[in-house]
């Protein structure tokens, strides 16, 4: 049986691998925090803490994505063995592109939603709110929230598909797609 050296096998550079898993955790936190904040009464401390957590986990994604893109630009994408057919390769490119767009668009839309709805984003563990350069406009804020929420729902499915695809490659196709990210 062919043996693969764990140190020389093709995989993404360390910064891309680490950020993939940290950002995956952040995205899970972003969703969990916003989905469950409604279990606590309006104005209560846990509810506000969860929303502040939602804001900052989202902002962290927006900050980290640039480091990840830079690492990817420098380190490239390791080869898949055996190679994907043209259709699957194009589909996975499209999904990955949409995920990177999601990392950038969602936090920005979220910040705009909070700003126009007059919701403050506090520097963690302080009472200092980030300055907001817009005038509160709740109607516009709610429209932005609808778009932010709709994209959020669509990406439940996109992310779900992404995870299933990774597991399918590993367990069914038995190629090296997942190992490249470990
Ligand atoms: C990857 C980043 C993000 C994702 C995936 C995300 C996702 C979501 C989702 C799924 C909702 C629920 C919408 C609904 O129930 O209709 C939501 C609500 C919201 N998000 Fe985000 N969000 C992100 C980043 C941010 C950021 C950075 C901010 C602000 C700094 C933000 C502010 C808000 C606000 C104000 C709401 C409305 C919450 C409410 O009052 O019910 N989001 N977000
Ligand atoms: C258990 C959960 C997850 C598994 C097993 C997984 C697995 C993988 C694998 C195997 C790749 C490499 C695909 C390839 O190069 O063709 C990858 C790439 C990627 N994953 Fe995940 N992933 C998970 C969660 C997530 C989450 C939650 C997100 C973000 C919402 C995400 C975003 C991405 C992105 C953007 C890439 C493209 C990497 C690049 O080429 O730069 N992943 N993932």
* Low-confidence residues in the chain, pLDDT < 50: 1
Per residue, the 3-state secondary structure of the chain, as one string, reads CCCCCCCCCCCCCHHHHHHHHHHHHHHHHHHHHHHHHHHCCCCCHHHHHHHHHHHHHHHHHHHHHHHHHHHHHHHCCCCCCCCCCHHHHHHHHHHHHHHHHHHHHHHHHHHHHHHHHCCCCECCCCCCECCCCCCCCHHHHHHHHHHHHHHHHHHHHHHHHHHHHHHHHHHHHCCCCCHHHC
Atom of ligand 2 nearest to the CA of 28: 27
- Residue 9, in any domain of the structure: no
Q: Which two tokens stand for residue 143?
A: 């429209």
Beta-carbon contacts of residue 132 (< 8 Å; ≥ 6 apart):
115, 120
Question: Is position 5 within any domain?
Answer: no
Of the candidates 22, 16, 161, the one whose C-alpha atom is nearest the C-alpha of residue 94 is 161
Q: How many domains does the chain have?
A: 1
Residue 3 lies in a domain: no
- Would residue 47 count as lying in a domain? yes
Predicted confidence at residue 41, as pLDDT, reads: 97
pLDDT of residue 43: 94
pLDDT number for residue 72: 97
Let me know if residue 88 belongs to a domain: yes
Give the domain range for residue 21.
14-179
Which ligand neighbours the alpha carbon of 179 most closely?
2
CATH code of 119's domain: 1.20.950
The residue whose CA has the least distance to atom 1 of ligand 1 is 58
pLDDT of residue 161: 98
Tokens of 180: 């490249």
In a domain, 7, yes or no: no
With a 6 Å cutoff on the Cβ, whether 91 touches ligand 2 is: no
CA 7 to ligand 1 center in whole angstroms: 40
Neighbours of 131 (CB within 10 A): 7
């Amino acid at each position: 049986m062919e043996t693969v050296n764990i140190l020389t096998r093709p995989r993404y550079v360390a910064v891309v691998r680490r950020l993939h898993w940290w950002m995956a955790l952040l995205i899970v936190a972003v969703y969990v925090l916003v989905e469950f904040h409604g279990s606590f009464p309006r104005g209560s401390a846990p509810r506000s803490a969860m929303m502040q957590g939602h804001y900052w986990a989202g902002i962290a994604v927006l900050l980290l994505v640039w480091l990840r893109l830079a690492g990817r630009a420098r380190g490239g994408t390791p080869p898949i063995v055996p190679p994907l057919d043209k259709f699957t390769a194009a589909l996975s490119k499209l999904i990955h592109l949409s995920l990177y767009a999601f990392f950038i668009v969602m936090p920005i839309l979220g910040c705009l939603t909070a700003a126009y709805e007059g919701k403050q984003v506090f520097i963690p563990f302080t009472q200092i709110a980030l300055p907001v350069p817009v005038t509160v406009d709740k109607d516009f804020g709610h429209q932005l929230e609808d778009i932010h929420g709709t994209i959020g729902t669509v990406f439940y499915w996109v992310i779900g598909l992404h995870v299933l695809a990774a597991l399918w490659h590993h367990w069914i196709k038995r190629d090296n797609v997942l190992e490249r990210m470990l």
